[in-house]
Amino acid sequence: MQKAFAYMEKYRMIEAGDKVIAGVSGGADSLCLLFVLMEYRKRVPFSILAVHVEHGVRGQESLEDAAFVEKICREHTIEYRLVQVCVPELARREKLSVEEAGRRARYEAFERIRQETGADKIAVAHNRDDQAETVLFQIARGSGLTGAGGIRPVRGAVIRPLLSCSRAEIEEYLRGHSQTWRTDATNQETDYARNRIRHQILPLLEEQINSAGREHIAALAEELQRVQAYMEQETQKCLEELADFGEGTVQITVSALKEKPSLLQEYVLRESLRRAGCPLKDISRRHIADIKKLAGGQSGRQTMLPGGWQAVRSFDKLLLKKADEKGQELPFSVHAEVPGSCETPEGTFEFRIFSNENKNIFQNTYTKRLDCDRIGNNLFIRTRRPGDYIVINRQGGKKKLKEYLIEEKIPAGQRNHILLLAQGSEILWVIGHRVSEAYRVSPETKRILEIRRIGENYGGENQCIDSGGRS
């Protein structure tokens, strides 16, 4: 308890008079969070609103979780609100994993209620073990310094009072107060990457390398956060010195940029793109390296970036902006070696084949699995061409790619930059969007082709690995 109090005060999480929304699932972590907040009110006067998000995933068990939390709040005179969301429907509609959709639903609900009630903070129950899991996950997926720093104690209105506490300490505290909690059985499964890290990788690390592994990883994350904060301060100073921002554009003085350390140059370029309005989710290390190379080259050169953006070198200026209509044409086609990898102007793709017996394959926006037995030997990563089409249902119904992109409301200026996995005119995967129904994995699939785009997470905003439906 005192450890959590000290951590809250270190980061000034709660002030007198605050109204704090507490996300309470009924699991050990979130119940401990609720009790810590109730106890901390004896030191600092503030109000608590407990919010439980029922995901519509686990049937009666999920409803029992909600009833359990409501009972706890009633017994302790804590204001309580229930939010019900059909997470599977949200996942289907937004083309997300159920885990990611659940996380989005929770935070959207918390923020909506914060605005409705005028609350000041949103307290969630991530702990030190979650931090270690997140750091390992982010490093493994190719994240930069921001992602490797893991979960922040405070981000905007969100606070994490238990981030310095281990899961064992949390459960020991609850047992010491004879307090039971709810358990989500899906947290014991190893279908998700976060659960494999939690139940397989971290225990092995602590058993065979260092029993304090989680603690040391969390300590490293805190150090990396301080490094990141310093880099952000230095980046801001550099931008004031050498960047001139306009409407959707930025001009950078090349001679001044070259005087900066290489790492700081990368931060400046990335932050410049973000402020100009360029979506960073597809900006990889390679794209930043291309811009640096352009800055060191001759005047008059340019390089194209994802999303219809471009970097142009003009004398001592580097201009980052949306490409004009003429500059948006970027046709290319690269043959894919399967299995193997291929380099394209828009990134590297890795292809591997394995048996359908392996059920624990990570899949997200940039990693997809297809039925290898249905695919020929002539695959290409390319941009769109006239006549392209995609199969949209199991009956073999086809749709012109152009119509699909219009229906998905993809701006016309970005369509030439959408990457495709193609076999002739047939599109197997609109990369970053949907796959063809003709090649989805089925129970009859014997071999799976996994395609992964490498390096899209460089320096981007990390996605916290929380406990899915259970905090």
Beta bridge partners of 123: 22, 159
From CA 372, how far away is CA 445, in angstroms rounded? 8
Annotated binding site for ATP: 25-30
Rounded Cα distance, 13 and 122, in Å: 10
Angle (deg, nearest 10), helices 128-140 and 213-242:
60
Q: How far apart are CA 162 and CA 153, in angstroms?
A: 9
Rounded to whole angstroms, the Cα distance separating 156 from 227 reads: 19
The first and second tokens of residue 67, run together, are: 């009833």
Do the Cβ atoms of 158 and 124 come closer than 8 Å?
yes
Integer Rg of the chain from CA: 24
Nearest to 90 by CA among 66, 109, 65, 68: 109
Is the distance from CB of 341 to CB of 348 less than 8 angstroms? Answer: yes
> Is the peptide bond between 386 and the residue preceding it cis, with omega within 30 degrees of 0?
no
CA distance 151 to 131: 6
Most distant CA pair in the chain, distance: 72
Question: In whole angstroms, what is the distance from residue 207 CA to residue 119 CA?
Answer: 43
Q: Quick one: CA torsion of 108, 228, 281, 304, rounded to 10 degrees?
A: 150
In contact, 153 and 11? CB cutoff 8 Å: yes
Cα 109 to Cα 63, 103, 316, 354, distances in angstroms = 17, 10, 48, 40
CB 363 within 8 A of CB 369: yes
Q: How many other CB atoms are there within 10 angstroms of residue 334's CB atom?
A: 16
Give the DSSP per-residue string, 435-465: B-GGG---TT--EEEEEEEETTTTT-PPPP-
Which residues have a Cβ under 8 Å from the Cβ of 10 and sit 6 or more positions away?
153
What's the rounded Cα separation, in Å, for the pair 127 and 374? 45
Please state the φ and ψ torsions of residue 6, each to the nearest 5 degrees.
Answer: -60, -40
